[in-house]
Amino acid sequence: MGLLENLVLVFVAGLVTALATGLGAIPFFVVDDFSDRWNVALWGVASGIMVSASLFGLVNEGLAYAAGGFPTLMVGGLLTGVVLVEVADWALDAIDIEGDDESSESAHHSEGSDDHAGEDHTHETEEVHADGGGHSHDEHAMEAEAFAEGDLKKLVLILGILTVHSFPEGVAVGVSFAELGLEGGIPVLGFSVPLLAVFMTVAISIHNIPEGTAIAIPMRAMDVSKWRMVGAAVFSSLPQPIGAVIAFAFVRWAKEFLPFGFGFAAGAMIYLVATEFIPEALETGEHLPGEGHRELVVGLSLGVAAMVPLMYV
């Protein structure tokens, strides 16, 4: 197969992971809300999948490419992935300064106009924050507000931030296709697809479902239509097929940098779990018995268990 056909296949794989995010909003077609127990467990599932895919897929493959030597490139990639997440958080904080001021002013006017409306607003705000705090929550709340208001400028800004956060997942898919077309792969639509590529595409897709749910939660509180919630969830992962194509093209052009690509994706995703997913889950479950630790551990275990069959295929 030619390079163009390969790029199309990789783009489709990345698009599948993006569309899977929209599945996270589907439950709101039949239910009105998710309990904190479910939210904590879902974050645990997403975290378990992300860490498993990173360690047993990307890091393991990066070490294999080191051929017994010190994996300098992979370690460099790991550190670069961490730096990228920190830069994204800094950018998100900078944008939030304006958003928080506007939200505070809006809340003040709302409370001044009607005491009962203010109480409802407070309750609604608590529901919006039901998916936790931190940078991931800020991201989701900003996106929900932008979609609710139809603010194109804000959506463009958010897409820029989401690109930095979602890009590593696309890179993970892209680098996993590095050996596309070589012997030993799984036949898919006339392509010989590496087992690692199947593993990463499925892993990122499953991981994106609870991420889509987290995005939909604040939008439901704002009475955004159900299909717009689905669209917003997919929108949040649009950088993934782009990242997949760029990463695939890069490692095919400079295959010696493949360990760096594996490390970059793994470092960013593991750091996201440690600094955003787990803290958000714990904040969500702080009012539950045991502060949500049991639900988080169960979710983490289910996430890892979901990846075990793929590891041994």
The whole domain housing 137 covers 3-96+132-311
Higher pLDDT, 224 or 201: 201
Residue 109 pLDDT > 50: no
Q: Name the domain count of the chain.
A: 1
Three-state secondary-structure class, residue 72 = helix
pLDDT band, residue 111 (cuts 50/70/90):
very low
The arithmetic mean of pLDDT across residues 55-62, rounded, is 85
Residue 240 pLDDT > 70: yes
pLDDT of residue 126: 39
pLDDT band, residue 106 (cuts 50/70/90):
very low
The per-type count for the chain, helices as H runs and strands as E runs, is: 13, 2
Token readout for 164 is: 């930095």
Residue 124 within any structural domain of the chain: no
Residue 105 within any structural domain of the chain: no
- How far, in Å, CA of 10 to CA of 237, rounded? 15
Residue 154 within any structural domain of the chain: yes
Residue 102 within any structural domain of the chain: no
Residue 191 within any structural domain of the chain: yes
- How far, in Å, CA of 262 to CA of 59, rounded? 6
pLDDT band, residue 244 (cuts 50/70/90):
very high
pLDDT band, residue 68 (cuts 50/70/90):
low
Token readout for 96 is: 């939030």
pLDDT band, residue 309 (cuts 50/70/90):
confident
| Residue 170 amino acid letter | G
- How far, in Å, CA of 18 to CA of 294, rounded? 30
Residue 270 pLDDT > 70: yes
Residue 160 pLDDT > 80: no
**Of the listed ranges 127-136, 176-185, 295-304, the one predicted with least confidence:** 127-136
- How far, in Å, CA of 206 to CA of 277, rounded? 15
- How far, in Å, CA of 145 to CA of 154, rounded? 9
What pLDDT, in 10s, does the model give residues 6-32? 899 999 999 999 999 999 888 888 877
Share of the chain above pLDDT 90, in %: 11
Token readout for 151 is: 């603010």
- Strand ranges in the chain using DSSP code E only, listed in sequence order: 186-188, 191-193
188: left (phi over 0), alpha (psi -120 to 50) or beta: beta
pLDDT of residue 11: 95
pLDDT of residue 15: 94
- How far, in Å, CA of 206 to CA of 169, rounded? 12
pLDDT of residue 161: 63
Token readout for 72 is: 């300098």
Residue 91 pLDDT > 90: no
Q: Is residue 62 within 8 Å of residue 74, measured between CB atoms?
A: yes
Residue 118 within any structural domain of the chain: no
Q: Phi first, then psi: what are they for 278, rounded to 5°?
A: -65, -50
Three-state secondary-structure class, residue 192 = strand
pLDDT band, residue 164 (cuts 50/70/90):
low
pLDDT band, residue 124 (cuts 50/70/90):
very low
Residue 198 pLDDT > 90: no
For residue 158, which of 238, 43, 84 has the smallest C-alpha distance?
238
Confirm whether pTM is higher than 0.85: no
Token readout for 307 is: 């990846």
Provide the CB-side half-sphere exposure for 288 (13 A, CA): 21
Q: Is residue 138 within 8 Å of residue 19, measured between CB atoms?
A: no
Residue 41 within any structural domain of the chain: yes
pLDDT of residue 298: 92
The arithmetic mean of pLDDT across residues 67-87, rounded, is 82
Residue 112 within any structural domain of the chain: no
pLDDT band, residue 140 (cuts 50/70/90):
low
For residue 208, which of 19, 9, 12, 10 has the smallest C-alpha distance?
19
